[in-house]
Chain A
Amino acid sequence: MFDDLRDLYQEVILDHGRKPRNFRRLEDADRHARGDNPMCGDRMELWVKLEADGRIADAAFQGKGCAISMASASLMTETVRGKTQAEAHELGDKFRALAMTGTCPDCGAELADDMERLQVLGGVSEYPSRVKCATLAWHTLNNALDDKQEAASSE
């Protein structure tokens, strides 16, 4: 009945959705932000720990939401570890383009591997109402890195 949905719900997504990685509170975080899509009820809290040079040492989140939003947040926290803040912003921009179009435009060589991992979420581009589920975590990361206090939203 749902075989063609495996494009959207690839095993990686179902796995990260069921068992999100870095699903914890970072007590000694340097940055923190909330993400909230009030219309659909997806919400998350994100913590970021920075190195002395400003690189992302650790990222973790907690929240409630659909498999897509949880898997996206889970994959994001894994992907941004060790990245500079500029790289994290760039990944976010590229990921939003990926979620909206299904392809990764101008993937820089240095980020190509990361974008390839995130490609599993490209299937949401076929489902316009679900794009916001995939991008909420990245909007929240932007707010955390920019130290914005208001909750991020992708609705």
Chain B
Amino acid sequence: MDGAVVAPGFDVARVRQDFPILSQTVRGKTLVFLDSGASAQKPRAVIDTMVRTMETAYANVHRGAYNLSEKATAAYEAARAAVARFLNAADEREIVFTSSSTAAINLVAHSYGRGVLKAGDAVLISEMEHHANLVPWQMLRDAHGVELRVARVTDAGELDMVDVEAKLADGRVKLVAVTHMSNVLGTVTPAERLATLAHAHGAKLLLDGSQAAVHRRVDMQAIGCDFYVFTGHKLYGPTGIGVLWGRMELLERMPPFLGGGDMIAEVSLERFIPAPVPAKFEAGTPPIIEAIGLRAAIDYVESIGMPAIEAHERTLVDRATAKLSAIEGLTLLGRAQDRGGVFAFALDVAHAHDLATLLDRTGIAVRSGRHCAEPLHARFNVESTCRASFGLYTTVEEIDYLAEALVKAREFFA
């Protein structure tokens, strides 16, 4: 089959065997799971690690002077070290565990936003942000008097870098917070260039890596950004675990976000002294099992190798681009040069929800609606779209099957 080039050392059929859920049928059809951008499926290694932790090594962390708690603490901190290696962070204390990407961005918006930014400063986001990287900044603007600027997206679905530069020009933007990969358009933004540009204008850079960290190697020291967030459940790990990476000197300047147990060095009825980074930002019992599950997911992904995953996904992207753009009446949102395996599309004769219901009948799971990016849909003048998003277990045959189903769906509604 043309296009079905197997990346060296990457055997998708073997990889699929690692994911128990993929062998099931939906309404009598083989499951074709094309919604990994919303949440990815979990390999056996992650499931087993979490179960084994609960069966043999679970207790609260950082609290008990007994063997089980020490074991759990060691595993939790080993997860932090694994995330630090995964991101090539300079210091593992720069890894803050949160409950999600959303929680991580809210942490920065509250702590850095209210604690470091001043009224009159500006934050620059883009038109293609997930609501998680839009609403926290709107809330900051409304509560704290920070100006919110929005960089445009070109018709091709790329970040308009001329507009970014224009909006940075007056030097009032102190933080640029943009996606590293759009969850709708698949566009990968030029992270290193953004870091250079932001810094040249006196701004810090936060990247929302919820999508990007799954699809390519992200290296904090090479990118040169100041904050990076991603979430476990899109990286084949569990829900309830997210990561904030921040530069040590910034995390140290930031006040705590949530108050509670574990985030204090000293507390009396009158006052508290916060714990050092990262404990300062991890109030309450953290997602222990989830952090350990995330570590298992990272180990899994690294055992396959990010370069092999990237190569496989490039094959999928090329196939999907060719197949989907050949379908009459189908509009693809975005055609960025640098993109990942996320394709949002609209069919002329069918609403996204009707289309998703039809595709479900063939076993294909896609998301329909606005994918938590309502302003972006307004930007492209579409009410809603269906979105197919790929994981490392997605096959070229599944993409061909999607294309075939879309052609038949168009006949159904015509």
Contacts and interface: CB of A to CB of B under 8 A. Distances in A.
Interface in A103-154: 127, 130, 133
Contacts of A5: 357-358, 361, 412
Contact of A40 (B350, B353, B413): B353
Contact of A1 (B362, B370, B377, B383): B362
A102 interface: no
B351 A2 contact: no
Contact of A8 (B357, B370, B374): B357
Nearest to B385: A41
B369 A1 contact: no
A1 B362 CA distance: 7
B127 to A, nearest CB: 18
Interface residues of A, number: 21
B118 interface: no
Given A2-B361, A2-B408, A66 B354 contact: yes
A8 B368 CA distance: 18
Contacts of A41: 352, 369-370, 377, 383-384
A1 to B, nearest CB: 5
Contacts of B361: 1-2, 4-5
Q: Chain B, interface size: which category?
A: 20 to 34
A68 B353 CA distance: 9
A68 B354 contact: yes
B248 interface: no
B38 interface: no
Interface string B99-123: 0000000000000000000000000
Interface of B: 350-354, 357-358, 361-362, 368-370, 374, 377, 383-384, 405, 408-409, 412-413
15 contacts: A1-B405, A1-B408, A2-B361, A5-B357, A5-B361, A9-B412, A40-B368, A41-B352, A41-B377, A41-B383, A42-B353, A66-B353, A66-B354, A67-B354, A130-B353
